Structure formats: C-alpha cells, structure tokens
Chain A
Amino acid sequence: MTESPPRESRALHNASGRVTGADTTRRAALVTLFAGIAAIALGYASAFGSRGTPAWAPWLLALGIPAALGAIMILGAARGDRGVGALKIPFAFVILMLVIGFGAALALPTSEGPLSRLWLGLPARAAIVIYVVGLLPIFVLPIAYALTFETQTLSAEDVERVRKLARENQAARGTLNAASEQIRSGASQEQHDERAPE
C-alpha cells in the first residue's frame, strides 16, 4: 500500500505536471471563463452591425455572464485534489438561477398592465429578476461559503503552514543578510589590513 503524499507535496507534483482533481476543475473553469467572456464580446460586437443589435445578442450576455461569474467563483474555490467538493451544488444552483432569471426576462411575453397578477408586490417578469437574480443567491452562496469554510476555503492548519513558511523565509533572509554583512565586513577588514602599515 502506498501512502498518499501530503498536500504540499501534491501541490509540487501538480506544478510539475501531475494532473489532480483541482487541475481538471480549474482547467474547466478557465475554459468556461474564456468562453463566457468571448460570448459577451461577441454580443457587444454584434451591436456594431449596420442593422442594429440582433435579437440573439442579449442571449449571449444572458448565458455568458452567468458562465463567467460561475467559472471565476469555481476557479477561486477549487483547492487540493478535490476540486470544489460539495460546493458544486450551490454553484450549479446559482448559475442556473441567473440563466433562468435573465432567460425568463428575455423569453416571456410582455404582460405588464393594470390587471397583471403581482408576485410579492411585483409583476411576474420583474419579480423573477428582482427575487430570483437579486435575492435568491444571497440565501445560498454566502451560507454555502460559511458552511464549507474550514474544509474548502481556509483552516487553522492552512494559516499555520503559510506562517511557518513566512518564518522560514524570514530566517533564510536573515541568514543571507548576516552572511553578506560578514562578507562585506571581512572584505573591508582585508582592505584595512592591506592599507595598514606593517
């Protein structure tokens, strides 16, 4: 039976080319982020056409924005060899909510009028945008962040590892400075000796 290497060692292997779960997740997130930004760029570019903004242009933003935001969050949350772990559910939920919210606002027919049915005080399409896009994520993402904080984001052990490395670096710099100081003072002593009359 082989022991799995410690996390730090895995990180070094990872840097030298070994593919881990987090690498796959990050790669997928980067590709999605690039695709999302490219879709938004295409949407903007289409608005410069001589016939005005085509009907599909807002759809590129309605899909590209949730993709880009979701991807950059996943990129930030991926760690170790476990990718985003349980966070994939809240991420998927929020990306879906954004797509549904924007999509519904684009796709549903205009229905606002004096006799409109109100949902929590607003007509249907406005309610979808305000409550689904603007409020629902508040009840999901920050709570998911807090609940998975120690396992997925930052533990006391992580902080201590960084502090330990910082102390080692500081000590190494101190040794280096002392050594260079010694070399400098040695050189000046030699110069002094050379100049001094015998």
Chain B
Amino acid sequence: MTSRVGVSTLLQVALPNAARPAVVAVGIIYFAVVLAISIWAARRTNTARDFFVAGKGIGLIALTVASVSVSVSGFAFIGGPGFIYAVGLGAMYIVLPAAVTNVMGAWVLAKRMRLLGEARALITIPDAIGARYRSRGAQGLSAVAILVGIVGYMATNALAMGVVINSIFGVGLGWGIWIGMGVTLAYSASGGILAGIYNDVFQGTLMAVASVLVFLFVLNFGGGLGEISRMILAHDPTFLGPWGRLTPLAALSFFFVFSMGSLGQPQAVHKYYMLRDPLQLKWYPLLKTLGLVLVLLLYFSVGVGVKAFVLSGRLAPLASPDQATPALLLNVTPILLAALVFSGVAAATMSAANSFINIGAAIVTHDLPIAFGRRVKNELGWGRTVTVLIAIAAAITAQRSGTMVAFLGIFGWGLFASTLVPALAVGLNWQGATRAGAMASIATGLIITLALETAAYLKVFSFPAGVTASAVAMVASFLVFFIVSWLTRRSAPAELDPDVRLVMEL
C-alpha cells in the first residue's frame, strides 16, 4: 500500500550508521534465515507454475502474512513516521484506507481472480484481463503498463536495499545494493514465488513483531497516548488537527489514491491466484487487515511519539523528518529492538523487490509472448533467466542514477492504479465493460501518469494544492473506461466467454 511514497522517501534518507555488534549480529541471523528458506524452496520448484504462482497453492496463514509483507514497504518504518513528524496527522490518510482496502479487494477481485485461475489456470494479472475481454491486445497493453511500473519499483527497491544494508553493516552504498539484490536474486531465481512467499512470511512476522514492540515502547516511554498528545497540543496544536498541515483536499486525495488504487497493485492482487483452497478466502480479509494494523502501529506511534519527545526536549531536534525512526532507535530504544527494526526495514524492501522481480519475469516470459501470439516453450528456464536479468538491470540502474531512480519510483503506485483498476476491478464485475473501454482506459492511465509525472519532475507544470498526478490519472482512466464502454456497448456480450461469464455471475 505504501510502496509509492515509500521507496522514494527511503531513498532520500541518509540513514545513520547503525553498524553496532548487536545490529550486525541480528542482520547476519536475518540473512542466514532468508538463505535457508530459499534453499528449501528451490528444492520444491520444478515447473513454471511452481515458479510463478507456487504450484498447488499456499495456505491461508502463509499467504496472509506474505501479502501483508509485500503491501508494506520500508516506508512504513522510515519514511512514513518521518512524514507524520513533518505534516502531522494528515499523513495518516495514506494508511487509514487499510481499514477497507483488504475486504474491498476480497469482494471485488479475490473470488473472481481465484475462480478464473481455477477455470483457465491463469498465472498473471494480464492473463485475467486477456481472459475477461478475450483480447491479446488488452493483455499485452496491461503487461506493458505493469512492466513500466516495475522498472521504477525495482530500481528504487534496489537503491533502498543498498541504503539499509549500508546502514546495518557499514559496507558502502554500492556494496549494499549488490549484497541486497544478490540475496534477493538468489531466492527469486532459485525458488521463485515459493521462496518469495515463505521469505515474506518470515519477513512479515519480523516486521509485525518489531512494529508492536516499538509501539509499546513509545507509549510506555511517553506516558501513554494522552500524555503524548498533551505535549504536542501545548506546542503545536495544528499537528493533531484532522488534516495536520495538509489541506483537506490533499489529505482526502491520499485517501482516494491509496484506497481505490489498492485494487490495481499487482504485488497484492497477484496473490489471489495462490491460495490453495478458494474457500479459505473467507478469513483472508480479516487476517490481512489485522496483520496490516499491527505492522502500521510503528508508523503512527513513532511519528507522533518522536514529535512529542523532541518538543519535550527528551530527544534532540531532527536534522530532517526522515530521521524520526533512526533517531528514536539509536538514541532511545534498547539496541536489540533497533536491530530488529533495521532488519525489518531490510525485510520490507527485499520482500517488495522479490515480488516485483517475479511479476516482471512472468510478464516477459508469459504475457508479452502471448500478446504476440506465441508461447515460450521452457517458461521455467526463461523465467529464471529473466529474473536474473531484471535484478542485474535494476541494481545497475540504482547504482548509476540516483535522482532518476527516485523519479521512477514515485509514479509506480499511481501507474498501477490508473492503468489497472478500471479494466480489472470494474471489468471483472460489470458485463457491460468492453475491450475498447479497457484498452482506452489502460492507455489513458499510462499516458497521463507518465506525462504529468514527467512534467512535475521537470518542473514545467505544478499542481494546485492537493491535486496529484496519480489521482488525476486514475480519475481520467475511470471516466474514459465508462464512456468508451458505453459508446461500444453493443460489442460487450460477444466479448465474454461462457466460463468467464459464469465466474462473473457467481
């Protein structure tokens, strides 16, 4: 959920050197566990289906924890608390949608995608779009859109891993990038999504434990939420206003983009294919929502807590808002807790990178060939090869061009949202949606997001307060989808295969 702001913010953080014996020891244990899981998973990966959607499927608890892990990037631990420290409670509108997004995804997408997987043995999101509209063109276009988003995400995650690993081990940014990407690549290429899922389970558990412990520590250190609020209200009441320092339009825009946009995030939506038994979806939204709440406790408590501690003089003023978490961990909390959180941040970036590598490899070896009317014969072999290539390309891009990488990472979330939500989320629930509407909507989202983000990056155009390129592109994509589908409505019935129609009727 928070990846968009997450990685790009993390990149701007000059994390302090945390290389102390306890932090290094916990970091080494963390990497040892990741490698052990990867070796185990590699032995169980024999086919392309094993590699891309974990073969016969994953159990409910494992899938839930893995899904929480990929939904939250390092932003929840570093950039997010810093954002709250800077703008107050307005920053909460990025995470408040978590209360509805998981169950919304379950109603709108989970059942239909899981059943489509059952009916057609689908393995990717463009697969679902291709099946829904009986269109190789729509499948190819959505694949291209996802690939563009992944390019940015992968490079930014590679750089974020470098920042975190450098902070833990003090090895330098360049080595940090290659060590992080090397470990992620080792388990992505050998064990595919199976290694990714079980590493996500480990990483998600680590993140939840670290988050809860930090939350409890902050409340205890600050004398409870009431005392923390009193301290802030005495010095800076706007901070605890309902919008913080943001305008209402900006805060509500965050809520819109991070709620509706969640329906187009491939790293989370792709997981629906993997549940072993479709009937286990029953408890999936509840468990995932509770998991997310646990992981996001740190986001809120550190942001608000550090503000109060700085105002009361218990913590020195921060050099920049993004130092909120590192300053708290290295100056106030026990060092073992700090070690746990630093490993948690590494876990968050690696888990996101693994997920995107896998989705990118599936697009290159599966969706794009299908769009051109071809099939790759050895999808598993090619999947592993492309996985290696994507990881190396991301690491090189991350090392060579920091500023450009940060720009690429910014529009990932919005690009996925504006290109996929109408065609996928509405399309799978509305038989009147048409192929032309879906393709026009995907193209609109792609073009508007790229154009507006580039214009904003080059400072040739600036948005009025509260309006973001992501939100504008998503709204435009929705409107185009509805209008073009309505104009071409006569073709709708002919574009639905009987099995897809059945899945949509259930």
Residues in chain A near residue B237, CB distance under 8 A: 112-114, 116, 123
Once A52-B464, A154-B278 are accepted as A-B contacts, the answer to whether A137 and B260 lie under 8 Å apart by CB is no
Residues in chain B near residue A196, CB distance under 8 A: none
The A107-160 residues at the B interface (CB cut-off 8 A) are 110, 112-114, 116, 118, 120-123, 125-126, 128-130, 133-138, 141-143, 145-146, 149-150, 153-156, 158-159
Instruction: Assess whether A75 is in contact with B430, with CB atoms less than 8 Å apart.
Output: yes
The B211-234 residues at the A interface (CB cut-off 8 A) are 224-226, 228-230, 233-234
- Residues 8-39 of A, flagged 1 when their CB comes within 8 A of B and 0 if not, give 10010011000000000010001001100110
Instruction: Assess whether B99 is in contact with A65, with CB atoms less than 8 Å apart.
Output: no
A86 within 8 A of B: no
Interface centre among A58, A62, A69, A145 (most CB of B within 10 A): A145
Once A112-B233, A141-B285, A154-B278 are accepted as A-B contacts, the answer to whether A65 and B104 lie under 8 Å apart by CB is no
Residues in chain A near residue B482, CB distance under 8 A: 34, 37
Instruction: Assess whether A166 is in contact with B499, with CB atoms less than 8 Å apart.
Output: yes
Interface centre among A106, A123, A156 (most CB of B within 10 A): A123
Instruction: Assess whether B233 is in contact with A114, with CB atoms less than 8 Å apart.
Output: yes
Q: Which of A8, A68, A104, A133 touches B96 (beta carbons < 8 Å)?
A: A133
- Name the CB-closest residue of B to A14: B505
The B260-289 residues at the A interface (CB cut-off 8 A) are 260, 263, 278-279, 281-283, 285-286, 289
Q: Which of B68-76, B105-113, B365-373 contacts A (4 or more CB under 8 A)?
A: B105-113
Cα distance A166–B482 in the bound complex, in angstroms: 31
Residues in chain A near residue B503, CB distance under 8 A: 162
A161 within 8 A of B: yes
Residues in chain A near residue B432, CB distance under 8 A: 30
Instruction: Assess whether B240 is in contact with A112, with CB atoms less than 8 Å apart.
Output: yes
A73 within 8 A of B: yes
Cα distance A15–B248 in the bound complex, in angstroms: 43
Residues in chain A near residue B493, CB distance under 8 A: 15
B186 within 8 A of A: no
Instruction: Assess whether A73 is in contact with B249, with CB atoms less than 8 Å apart.
Output: no
Q: Which of A68, A161, A163, A166 touches B260 (beta carbons < 8 Å)?
A: A68
Instruction: Assess whether A159 is in contact with B118, with CB atoms less than 8 Å apart.
Output: yes
Once A57-B249, A113-B233, A149-B282 are accepted as A-B contacts, the answer to whether A130 and B115 lie under 8 Å apart by CB is no
B100 within 8 A of A: yes
Cα distance A161–B102 in the bound complex, in angstroms: 26
Instruction: Assess whether B233 is in contact with A158, with CB atoms less than 8 Å apart.
Output: no
Instruction: Assess whether A142 is in contact with B506, with CB atoms less than 8 Å apart.
Output: no
A76 within 8 A of B: yes
Once A48-B464, A52-B464, A61-B253 are accepted as A-B contacts, the answer to whether A118 and B102 lie under 8 Å apart by CB is no
- Name the CB-closest residue of A to B463: A47
Q: Which of A79, A106, A143 touches B286 (beta carbons < 8 Å)?
A: A143
Cα distance A100–B256 in the bound complex, in angstroms: 16
Residues in chain B near residue A129, CB distance under 8 A: 89, 92, 96, 242
Q: How large is the interface on B (under 10, 10 to 19, 20 to 34, 35 or more residues)?
A: 35 or more
Instruction: Assess whether B426 is in contact with A43, with CB atoms less than 8 Å apart.
Output: no
Residues in chain B near residue A104, CB distance under 8 A: 242
Instruction: Assess whether B103 is in contact with A145, with CB atoms less than 8 Å apart.
Output: yes
- Residues 441-474 of B, flagged 1 when their CB comes within 8 A of A and 0 if not, give 0000000000000000000000111110001100
Instruction: Assess whether B499 is in contact with A162, with CB atoms less than 8 Å apart.
Output: yes
Cα distance A47–B112 in the bound complex, in angstroms: 38
Smallest beta-carbon distance B88→chain A, Å: 9
Cα distance A47–B499 in the bound complex, in angstroms: 45
Cα distance A30–B371 in the bound complex, in angstroms: 30
Cα distance A73–B112 in the bound complex, in angstroms: 13
Instruction: Assess whether A142 is in contact with B256, with CB atoms less than 8 Å apart.
Output: no
Residues in chain A near residue B255, CB distance under 8 A: 65
Cα distance A150–B224 in the bound complex, in angstroms: 42
Cα distance A128–B226 in the bound complex, in angstroms: 15
Smallest beta-carbon distance B262→chain A, Å: 10
B314 within 8 A of A: no
Residue pairs across A and B with CB atoms within 8 Å: the count is 232
Smallest beta-carbon distance B33→chain A, Å: 30
A41 within 8 A of B: yes
B293 within 8 A of A: yes
Smallest beta-carbon distance B242→chain A, Å: 4
- Residues 105-141 of B, flagged 1 when their CB comes within 8 A of A and 0 if not, give 0111101100100111000000000000000000000
Cα distance A33–B104 in the bound complex, in angstroms: 14
Residues in chain B near residue A65, CB distance under 8 A: 252, 255-256, 259
Instruction: Assess whether B505 is in contact with A11, with CB atoms less than 8 Å apart.
Output: yes
Instruction: Assess whether A47 is in contact with B464, with CB atoms less than 8 Å apart.
Output: yes
Once A105-B248, A121-B225, A145-B103 are accepted as A-B contacts, the answer to whether A130 and B233 lie under 8 Å apart by CB is no
Once A53-B464, A128-B242, A145-B106 are accepted as A-B contacts, the answer to whether A154 and B228 lie under 8 Å apart by CB is no
Q: Which of B100, B241, B501 touches A11 (beta carbons < 8 Å)?
A: B501
Smallest beta-carbon distance A53→chain B, Å: 6
Interface centre among A14, A37, A65 (most CB of B within 10 A): A37
Instruction: Assess whether A165 is in contact with B240, with CB atoms less than 8 Å apart.
Output: no
Instruction: Assess whether B119 is in contact with A166, with CB atoms less than 8 Å apart.
Output: yes
Q: List 30 A-B contacts (CB under 8 A).
A: A11-B505, A15-B431, A37-B479, A41-B479, A47-B465, A48-B467, A52-B464, A53-B466, A58-B252, A62-B252, A72-B104, A73-B108, A80-B505, A104-B242, A112-B238, A112-B241, A113-B233, A116-B237, A118-B230, A120-B225, A121-B224, A123-B229, A129-B92, A133-B99, A134-B96, A143-B286, A149-B279, A149-B282, A159-B279, A161-B506
Residues on A facing B (Cβ under 8 Å) = 7-8, 11, 14-15, 26, 30, 33-34, 37-38, 40-41, 43-44, 47-48, 52-53, 57-58, 61-62, 65, 68-69, 72-73, 75-77, 79-80, 94, 102, 104-106, 110, 112-114, 116, 118, 120-123, 125-126, 128-130, 133-138, 141-143, 145-146, 149-150, 153-156, 158-159, 161-163, 165-166, 169
- Closest 7 A-B residue pairs measured CB to CB? A121-B225, A76-B108, A105-B242, A142-B286, A76-B107, A58-B248, A112-B237
